[in-house]
């Protein structure tokens, strides 16, 4: 990978988490930053939960800091340090990126769902008017569901083995995005045109088939957010049936483009939240 040059004018993006050794974001983001011709670098920082508040205040005081990318377990905890929060962050109740504005205030939003919109864009598709079946109402499923609702999905059926969690997510969608019809459902693909696996089913070593019922067909787009393997059992079956498909790598790529666009790096046309409704200021 081409390395970013570091000098006295270099701007810093911090990615914070605990642990942090597992993150691959620098390998994905820094080549994009170099390609964009921006003198900046994404730097991992391990912030233990016990010292989070002191650490985040210190990081936010750094003069050449562009902003912060947030990973586990700090996405909810960092919310209170943002002065303005985008609609997806408000709806999810967590953020994974926060930037410093020219007036010194901080704006945060959640981009875990933006990657899904980017994966759709890689297929030449959008969320507008879609009938979506999403498997999994956890953190990733919640962010994806909110992003799809904000981007114009007509209907979202939510399935989770924990029926209460699925019901809670559907209710939150209706509260924040009432134009979108959200409801709990059985994992039957009949009547849907977009199937999303937001569960870990399909990851090594099991390579199990994500839980769904009904017949896959060429009019159904299938996206599996599992990062590895690149082709899960679900995607292999979907391709056999002629479905347009996208894998976890496409989701990660879409999220990287959206997050960097949020920081003013790369294309302003990056698919995701650039065209979503305006920010809400915290009270």
Positions marked active-site: 75
Q: Decide: helix, strand or coil at residue 29.
A: helix
Q: CA-CA distance, 170 to 174, in Å (whole number)?
A: 6
CA dihedral sign, ordered 172, 258, 62, 102: negative
Q: CA-CA distance, 161 to 107, in Å (whole number)?
A: 34
**Phi first, then psi: what are they for 228, rounded to 5°?**
-145, 140
Which residue stretches of 68-198 are H helix? Answer: 87-92, 114-122, 139-150, 163-176
Q: Decide: helix, strand or coil at residue 91.
A: helix
H/E run at residue 46: strand 40-46
Rounded to a whole number of angstroms, the CA Rg of the chain reads 19
Strands ordered across the beta sheet of 131-135: 181-184, 155-159, 131-135, 194-197, 221-224, 245-246
Query: How many helices, marked H, and strands, marked E, lie in the chain?
Result: 8, 13
Q: CA-CA distance, 245 to 231, in Å (whole number)?
A: 10
């Amino acid at each position: 990978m081409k390395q970013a040059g570091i000098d006295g004018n270099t701007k810093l993006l911090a990615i914070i988490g605990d642990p942090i050794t597992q993150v691959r974001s620098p390998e994905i983001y820094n080549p994009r930053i170099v390609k964009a011709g921006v003198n900046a670098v994404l730097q991992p920082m391990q912030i233990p939960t016990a010292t989070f508040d002191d650490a985040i205040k210190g990081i936010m005081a750094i003069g050449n800091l562009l902003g912060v990318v947030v990973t586990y377990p700090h996405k909810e905890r960092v919310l209170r340090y943002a002065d303005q929060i985008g609609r997806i962050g408000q709806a999810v109740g967590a953020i994974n990126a926060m930037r410093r504005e020219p007036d010194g205030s901080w704006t945060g939003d959640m981009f875990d769902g933006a990657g899904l919109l980017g994966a759709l864009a890689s297929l030449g598709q959008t969320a507008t008017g879609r009938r979506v079946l999403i498997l999994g109402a956890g953190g990733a499923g919640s962010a994806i569901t909110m992003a799809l609702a904000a981007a114009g999905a007509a209907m979202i059926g939510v399935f989770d083995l924990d029926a209460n969690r699925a019901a809670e997510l559907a209710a939150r969608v209706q509260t924040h995005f009432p134009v979108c019809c959200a409801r709990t459902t059985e994992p039957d693909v009949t009547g849907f045109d977009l199937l999303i696996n937001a569960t870990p089913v399909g990851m090594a070593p099991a390579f199990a088939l994500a839980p769904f019922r009904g017949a896959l067909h060429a009019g159904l787009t299938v996206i599996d957010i599992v990062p590895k393997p690149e082709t899960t059992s679900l995607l292999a079956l979907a391709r056999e049936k002629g479905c347009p498909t996208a894998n976890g790598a496409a989701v990660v790529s879409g999220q990287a483009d959206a997050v960097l666009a949020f920081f003013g790096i790369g294309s302003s046309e990056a698919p995701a939240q650039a065209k979503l409704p305006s920010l809400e200021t915290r009270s």
